[in-house]
A = this chain, B = another copy of it.
């Protein structure tokens, strides 16, 4: 029996279930099942960084094991092959096949991408998953990225982030005036309009900037990553909640030609594995955050405190204005903004009497 004949026979069985993912494009070539794919994956994270970096390592090792070595992916940390913020470009151009990234890093180039990571005061972890997988979000995302020759997959989530580390007390809206804070993206723009000075810094400079007083505050992720960065040694107040990123989703992006070159079974495997990473990464964060929070709570030099309600209310009002202004200038933002906020309203009503009501009860 010739190799091609035999292999074709095996793969024909998969064809029976049909191609269920037309929106992602679908390979109907069933003769490629023993072909081996050696891909590179560029990321924006330090190699094997807790949570973000581990998730993409897990993605690669799962794909290799479950494909019996037919899909091997070498993962590169941010800056190892290309600068961290060029992930979108190099995958779009086909220089590498795959990237693991946060879609709001593409702000400026494609502002509408931010909806698929997080919007201040927007969808949380469970709600974002619902929107992407059952609420029409994935279709909007794939349509948006098609112009860049990219196929996106939701692949991980940190859960809600923390408000950040502060060396100034925030007791009123007035305390935001002049506040120098490392906070990127839409959250930064909200702070700017509230009178603060948002600053963008590479991860490696955050600790020193906070310690020397070059900045007054910084947000990063949550206890798990913040302690890994040593931020608890550079600030006095740890504020909550993280209004700026309520459940940021991560993305796996694949160059369209690379995607089309995969046989149907490996395409399916990639989709499944990305979705498994969402559960896995959120579980790693939830577990790690709880452990690191204990450490922070035991430190007498740190005070964990909530933002005042009127500050949060003020930031929430501004956040909506920021997105509406973007939508008025950018039709791609407008197209996604409308269904996003309609979905958010529906989700808020449901979450209030389900997850939120339960958590309130447990606290009684």
Chain B residues lying within 8 Å of A359, measured Cβ to Cβ, are 124, 351-352, 355-356, 359
Chain A residues 254 to 302 lying within 8 A of chain B, measured CB to CB, are 263-266, 268-269, 272-273, 275-276, 278-280, 282-284, 286-291, 293-294, 297
Q: Given A242-B358, A288-B134, A359-B356, are A264 and B65 neighbors across the interface (CB < 8 Å)?
A: yes
Chain A residues 301 to 346 lying within 8 A of chain B, measured CB to CB, are 304, 306-307, 309, 312-313, 316, 346
Q: How far is the CB of A26 from chain B (nearest CB, A)?
A: 11
Q: Given A132-B283, A160-B355, A361-B121, are A17 and B61 neighbors across the interface (CB < 8 Å)?
A: yes
Chain A residues 114 to 149 lying within 8 A of chain B, measured CB to CB, are 121, 124-127, 129-135
Judging by beta carbons under 8 Å apart, are A33 and B349 in contact?
A: no
Judging by beta carbons under 8 Å apart, are A287 and B135 in contact?
A: yes
Q: A174 at the A/B interface (Cβ < 8 Å)?
A: no
Judging by beta carbons under 8 Å apart, are A350 and B289 in contact?
A: yes
Judging by beta carbons under 8 Å apart, are B3 and A68 in contact?
A: no
| Selected interface stretch from A5-13, A77-85, A105-113, A183-191 | A5-13
Chain B residues lying within 8 Å of A68, measured Cβ to Cβ, are 10-11, 13-14, 33, 263-265
27 CB-based A-B contacts, threshold 8 Å: A10-B70, A11-B68, A13-B64, A14-B67, A16-B69, A17-B64, A66-B269, A68-B265, A129-B282, A130-B284, A131-B287, A133-B280, A133-B283, A133-B287, A160-B354, A240-B357, A241-B357, A241-B358, A269-B272, A273-B276, A275-B280, A289-B354, A291-B346, A304-B353, A306-B353, A348-B362, A352-B363
- The residue on B at minimum CB distance from A350 is B290
Q: How far is the CB of A137 from chain B (nearest CB, A)?
A: 10
Q: Given A124-B355, A159-B355, A269-B269, are A279 and B133 neighbors across the interface (CB < 8 Å)?
A: yes
Judging by beta carbons under 8 Å apart, are A130 and B354 in contact?
A: no
Q: Given known contacts A10-B34, A130-B287, what 4 new A-B pairs fall within 8 Å (CB)? A: A3-B6, A126-B283, A356-B360, A356-B363
6 tightest Cβ-Cβ pairs between the two chains A and B: A13-B69, A130-B286, A134-B287, A241-B357, A290-B350, A275-B276
Chain A contact residues: helix, strand, loop or mixed: helix
Judging by beta carbons under 8 Å apart, are B350 and A223 in contact?
A: yes
The CA-CA distance from A67 to B64 in the complex, in Å, is 13
Q: A165 at the A/B interface (Cβ < 8 Å)?
A: no
Q: Given A3-B1, A359-B359, are A354 and B134 neighbors across the interface (CB < 8 Å)?
A: no
Q: A243 at the A/B interface (Cβ < 8 Å)?
A: yes
| Chain A residues within 8 Å of B, Cβ to Cβ | 1, 3, 6, 10-14, 16-17, 20, 33-34, 36, 61-62, 64-70, 72, 121, 124-127, 129-135, 159-160, 162, 222-223, 240-243, 246, 263-266, 268-269, 272-273, 275-276, 278-280, 282-284, 286-291, 293-294, 297, 304, 306-307, 309, 312-313, 316, 346-364
Q: Given A68-B13, A290-B346, are A356 and B354 neighbors across the interface (CB < 8 Å)?
A: no
Q: Which of B13, B246, B283, B288 contacts A358 (CB 8 A)?
A: B246
Q: How far is the CB of A165 from chain B (nearest CB, A)?
A: 14
The CA-CA distance from A289 to B273 in the complex, in Å, is 26
The CA-CA distance from A237 to B127 in the complex, in Å, is 26
- The residue on B at minimum CB distance from A347 is B290
Chain B residues lying within 8 Å of A61, measured Cβ to Cβ, are 17, 20
- The residue on B at minimum CB distance from A131 is B287
